[in-house]
Chain A
Amino acid sequence: MELKAIGCEPLQLKMMHIENGHTLEVYQEHGGYEALKKAMNMSSDEIIDEVKASALRGRGGAGFPTGMKWSFVPRDSPKPKYIVCNADESEPGTFKDRYLLERDPHALIEGMLIGAFALGVETCYIYYRGEYHYLIDVMDKAIEEAKAANLVGENILGSDFTCHFYTHTGAGAYICGEETALLSSLEGERGHPRMKPPFPAVEGVYACPTVVNNVETLTAVPQIINMGGETWRDLGTEKSGGTKLWSVSGHVKKPGVYELPMGYEDMEKFILEDCGGMLRDDKKLKACIPGGSSVYAMRADQIIGKKVTLDYEGLVEGGSLVGSGGFIVIDETVDMVDSTKNLTEFYKHESCGWCTPCREGTDWLTKIFNRIADGGGRPEDAQLILDLCDNIEGKSFCALGDAAAWAIQGAVKRFPEDFKKHLLPNGNGNGNGNAL
């Protein structure tokens, strides 16, 4: 497992290889909490403007501009306000936040404190996925340390700024990474998403103004305050500011978490050189899903020789999305029907059941893929799968349905030769394979 910055100084990964980097003492030796002190001498608007200038976009997957999200919080609301960190990292192929939470908890606390100071927030929650239970101790200790140093709690650093931190755990539900479902879960309910509007910034947890941000988004905030929004943005491109973490898994020699400047020039080079190349030298690259399982898989010929840049615009042009930055690298030994069946099962299992298109759609898709796996594929199945996806995409209550549809559509449309092998007249494997 690599934890490495390429093409830039490590910012998000700065503390990864420093002994005891998770402790307050070491964090402060490396400039920790200086950004908070700087921010506490700035006005709310100045802080939000810096974050806007940085072009920081939500790192959880949706890529919504963070500064804008913050600016939606009504300043004059008489209700208490909240910041909730979304540490429900569950997107298949994504594991970057786990290392931030394990080795750099104070960066998260500092980022949340800066947001809290800017927005008048007095309570912050960090919502962990239940499986990351062992990481909660790390954060609880960090919070205790910060409290003892008067960085968290009442009258922070002698000012009238007060902010309390609490960890909270989910219990195994992908849907709770969706921000409104996360808030339902934080209130002790089933993790069902809520109608938007009202957006959480106006009515979030306990019907109070709430900002929900991903871990990596919040840990970027101290860097932005330290170096200034524009300087941070210029590490990347104009529209995709700063650096970004990419979780790389699958068939590469060096899987891991890589920090790259946004706009990194070549996806092919990244996979085949920076990540050590294909796991087995005699097996060629077949596909890469670059943004966690919920985005379109890219074929090797969409990557090799195409100079796909790694940023929000570059990946759209290349035929996919940044999503959560979870690179799943797949070699030619993998049957994309099998891999798609695997993801279909995932979305069926994780569909919360709240809305019909997603609940029923993912269930039927799984049934079709099971039938295909059992040797009962029919030529019309490809179209049937696409029709089903059409009936989910844009029609489900939240983005989980869209995610499922994209993952599956992408595979059917881009890997027809794999589906052809399975979808035969009579479903008995004797046909001519003219499907699609």
Chain B
Amino acid sequence: MGTVATDYTNKVVKTDEIAEFSDEVIEEMKSHLVKYPEGRQRSALIPLLFVIQRERGYLDNPGVNFIAKFLDLEVTDVWETATFYSMFNLHPVGKHHIQVCKTLSCRIMGEPDITGHICDKLGIKVGETTEDKRFTVTRVECLGSCGTAPMMQIGFDYYENLSKEKVDEILDSLD
């Protein structure tokens, strides 16, 4: 239904379709709105985009269209914010999104070896997703865990003081 066009990345098809969510998720979204003064519902945008990302795997057009309607914003307002922040995935990622911290403390404590090891193990390059859609590997800027470098975040979980052996254990333990 509706118009079809390519978005700014020229990769995703843009539609007018609006995503649907369970009552439970809608209630969760509403619980964010009460934090902000009346008429300032746009403040809830980032927390709500995290909910969309959790529910749909990434920020897709139907999800963003839903948020625009939910917060009474233009769709472009939502994209304007969504495209600024590095934690929002604008494309599908694997079930486990591995984000290796690459900034100085991690780098000098062995990040390149860790990243290399993860990529070798999974048979993909940085930025890629495994064929079975289980893992995506990215390198990200400082995650605030410099004292326990090198480290990575998978989803929202921190894994610190990494060694190759520890990485093996962690990856093998994920479903």
Enumerate chain A interface residues (CB-CB to B < 8 A): 1, 80, 89-95, 97-98, 123, 125, 129-134, 166, 168-174, 185-191, 206, 247-251, 255-257, 289, 293, 326, 328, 330, 334, 339, 342-343, 345-346, 349-350, 352
Does B50 make an interface contact (CB < 8 A)? yes
Q: How far is the CA of A31 from the CA of B109 in the complex (A)?
A: 40
The answer on a CB contact under 8 Å between A166 and B35 is yes
8 interchain pairs (CB within 8 A)?
A123-B37, A166-B36, A168-B43, A171-B86, A189-B42, A255-B149, A343-B103, A346-B103
A416 CB, nearest partner CB in chain B, Å: 20
Q: With A129-B144, A171-B86, A251-B109 given, can you name 9 additional A-B contacts, CB distance below 8 Å?
A: A134-B158, A169-B46, A169-B47, A170-B85, A171-B50, A171-B87, A188-B43, A206-B40, A328-B105
Nearest CB of chain A from residue B28's CB, rounded to whole Å: 13
Q: Which residues of B sit under 8 angstroms from A171, Cβ to Cβ?
A: 46, 49-50, 85-88
Is A257 touching B147 in the complex (CB atoms < 8 A)?
yes
Contacts of A89 in B (CB 8 A): 144
Report chain B residues within 8 Å CB of A349.
86, 141
Check if A93 sits within 8 Å of B104, measured CB to CB. Answer: yes
Residue of B86, B102, B105, B153 with most partner-chain A CB within 10 A? B105
Shortest CB–CB separation between residue A403 and chain B, in angstroms?
13
Residue numbers in A under 8 Å from B46 (CB-CB): 130, 168-171, 185, 188
CA distance A255 to B119 in the complex (A): 28
Tell me whether A131 and B105 are in contact (CB under 8 A).
no
> A126–B42 Cα gap in the complex (Å)?
17
How many Å from the CB of A16 to the closest CB on chain B? 13
Question: How far is the CB of A212 from the nearest CB of chain B, in Å?
Answer: 15
Evaluate contact between B141 and A80: CB separation under 8 angstroms: no
B104 engages A98 (CB within 8 Å): no
For A186, the chain B residues whose CB sits under 8 A away are 43
How many A-B contacts are there with CB distance less than 8 Å?
145
A71–B49 alpha-carbon span in the complex (Å): 36
Closest CB-CB distance, A175 to chain B, in whole Å? 9
Category for how many chain B residues contact A: 35 or more
Main secondary structure of the interface of A (DSSP, over half): mixed
Q: Mark B86-129, 1 if CB is under 8 A from A, else 0.
A: 11100000000000001111011100000000000000000000
Which residue from B35, B104, B105 sits with its C-beta under 8 Å from A168? B35
Note all chain A residues with C-beta closer than 8 A to B157.
Answer: 134
- A328, B143: Cα distance in complex, Å: 15
* Residue among A80, A93, A166, A170 with max Cβ neighbours from chain B (10 Å): A93
A168 touches B47 (CB 8 A): yes
- Determine how close the nearest CB of chain B comes to the CB of A332; give it in whole angstroms: 12
Expressed in whole angstroms, the minimum distance between the Cβ of B127 and any Cβ of chain A is: 14
Are A133 and B40 CB-contacts (below 8 A) given A93-B146, A170-B46, A326-B146?
A: no
| B105 near A249: Cβ-Cβ < 8 Å | yes
Whether the Cβ atoms of B146 and A133 lie closer than 8 Å is no
